[in-house]
Structure 1
Amino acid sequence: MQAHRFGHQTTYKTLKIICEDQQNLRSLDLGEFKPGGHRSTIPNQTLAPGSLTLQSLEICEIDERVTCLTTFIKILNQNSPTLRRLRIGDPSHPRAPRLTASSWARRPRSKTKLPFTSIHFPALEQISIIHDHFAERFWDAFQEIVYCGKSLARIRISCFTDPYVLIQRLAAKGADAIKSIQVNNCRRRNHSAFQSPLHNQLPQMKSLETLQLQMCTHDEGEFQAAYISRTTLKRLWLQCSANCDPKTCRSMSGLLDYATNVSLSSDKWPVLEELAIAAPQWKNSGPTSVESWLELPMLRSLKILRLLQWQTSIQQQKNIQTVEKIQPRVEAYANLLYCWSSIAYEKLPNLRIIVVDTDIGSGCPGTAIQAPLYFVIYHFDDHIQEDGTCSPLVFNENYETAMRVCKEINCSTYLLQFGPPIPERFWD
């Protein structure tokens, strides 16, 4: 048998049978790991290194009892030489973290004494941590004992508190091989825990191609990590979870201001192909209805742009966006981008898909449905203006057409999905 998957729960008894009788097992999904009884134990010789050689290990939720925590740590140690993929956490958890700053202040900070001082994962290639409400004391200890080798390429952390210590530990030895980091809905417990911010670690990650920062924060310089890897980044998602206008957000300061040295322009982000940022504020009518869209990135390399929704649902319900209202703004932006690229580079830009997160009318007064709108840009050789520049054609298309175009331009489909990103999904 090569793979085992448990949809709901795994007990000590079941796990003991697996460890004793399935030495050829390579992939294991434990679901929720809970004891089958207070006296249930797994002999140490059963969990000895080498007795089980997994390449992929997934677990949804760990029981808070010390016996469960130490057993799982022993399983990690048992398979550490061969493990290539590790996911800890429940993919179906709420997208917003359940722990708040106030709940942390009330929570005891006792640590669990684990059976190892360090565990090395020389073959680990990807790690995904979806930290919900479970096993707080486990995480405090886990991030102190885990070490990865130079094979680690992708890190995905969602709904975690103070992820930077863990990221620093993961990237300590193989930072130059890491290609993807995604940090979503994470909080800091306090400022003293932010002694090693991500932007201090990224200079070592010289191969970074994908960066997603969707943070519960509103501090100046929080997204400086993105600016350091501008010459290598192909995929970028920046979103402040404070629901503010990106033009005034302190976290995103400078990205939409072409007078700064970090603005989203081709000379500063030469290989960026997929980008998700919050859309600047616009109005239904008036002189600023189109102009704010003209502040969007001027990137010749960009293939897909997703404009994230930053307004609250109440604000959006008062300002329902329809295809008829949005399409002229998309067309104005596309025309400007194509004109600029034709003049500055004598080449057409690569942008083909614009995804706009918006609330659209549901037919019932006072209600709206959140759904992305897909706009596909087409250009034809015979559609040339008198000055020699190309005028693109913009059409509102369905999801299936956008997916087909996405594959044609050799991009990932991550930015085409409905709603916020799925917690465990890597952006490839």
Structure 2
Amino acid sequence: MSECNSTVFTRSLTIFIVFLLSSIIFSPSISAQSNWEEDGWLTTSLAQERLENGDEFGCYGMQGLSWKADPGAVATECRQYIEQRVSANRWGDYPISTFTPDSLSQYQHQIISENGFMVHGDNTGLEDSAWHSSNDTPIDMLDWYNLGRRGGSLEQIIGSKQQVEDAVNEGGLVNLYWIGRVNDATIRHDKDIEQYISEEAEAWLTTWGQAWSYWSASKCYQFDHSINQVGQNYILSFESLIVEQCTGINPDRWNVPLTWAFDINNSQILSIIDSNGEMENISQVRHTKEGYSHEQNQYLHLSVVNGNRVNITLTNDDYEIMEMTEFWNNHSSAITIAAHETTDLFKWSKRFVDQENLVFTWLVIPRPAESKSPWIPYVAITIGAGVIITMLLVLKNEGIGPLARNENSADRKSKSE
């Protein structure tokens, strides 16, 4: 290799190294991490208790990053923030729900969904929408980029029990807004609304991710069933299958229990057994789980996850699988409570520690870093810049690098003379 080509190669390599160092030091994620502190409660038994209650952990945002400026960076960093600390839900490890402001374009929402967030809420301003009213049933995946807010707020004074009750009676998904604190001020919740949801509402108490996962399963499913006589009775075998075609369409869907309606034509049910044994009668249950519900002269409703085969012992062999119901356990309404801007799980949830009926979608965001150290990011940037300049000066002394350009040119000119 000639001396000229070697010099060009050395300079190019030097510039490339400088570029890499600069990218690392000045990248948005590195800068953003200096602006926040994690919520340590996400890694404790408190978070596990919330998961056991059926709660979900989704994203609200990241300190130092902007949804408008770089939605992909926010989604990526927020997803990692959650996954490194807590499972999203008892039915799925990975987060699929996020807050988004109402200023984003359809293209920006698409970028967010490519990072695994399928539910964007609420009232995001897009033309397509889901559950802005009882008749606003989602049809397409894109509809979930604009989840509606129905039923008002859980906040005292702002919220109204009557508003929530009316929305539940209308049917569909009712999505309440909630924020636990603003700065250091605790926001009181409406105890009448709490009591109504906890004790009176005939609805599926669920989360954003569970509701989306249930809905998306209705877009692609396959089941297997057969019936065989055993002695004087008949065993109906049923399984909602896990098939590659459907998982390929909705890879982010959680495997939540799906409710199937069976017409068993007045046959008596002698037993319902799955891989774990006798299934539970969940007729009065409102939290997502596997089981069955049945009332005399009505359909049998079987709630089961994909891949779990169930054997139902009947007194006759006349049956028909009617449909997958709109909501889990054949409820006509569903209620979600979105806890926005959750920076401290303990402070947000402590008032509900003895309340097992309410189910929350916690939209988490790290809290801002302590203001006593605002100089840390600048020190990091200064040190990084110093490293780069020092390296360039060292390379200059060796006669290589961008700063040595003039000297090398002078040397070549002198030699040519």
Per the normalisation by structure 2, the TM-score is: 0.29
Per the normalisation by structure 1, the TM-score is: 0.29
Higher relative contact order (CA 8 A, sep 6+): 2
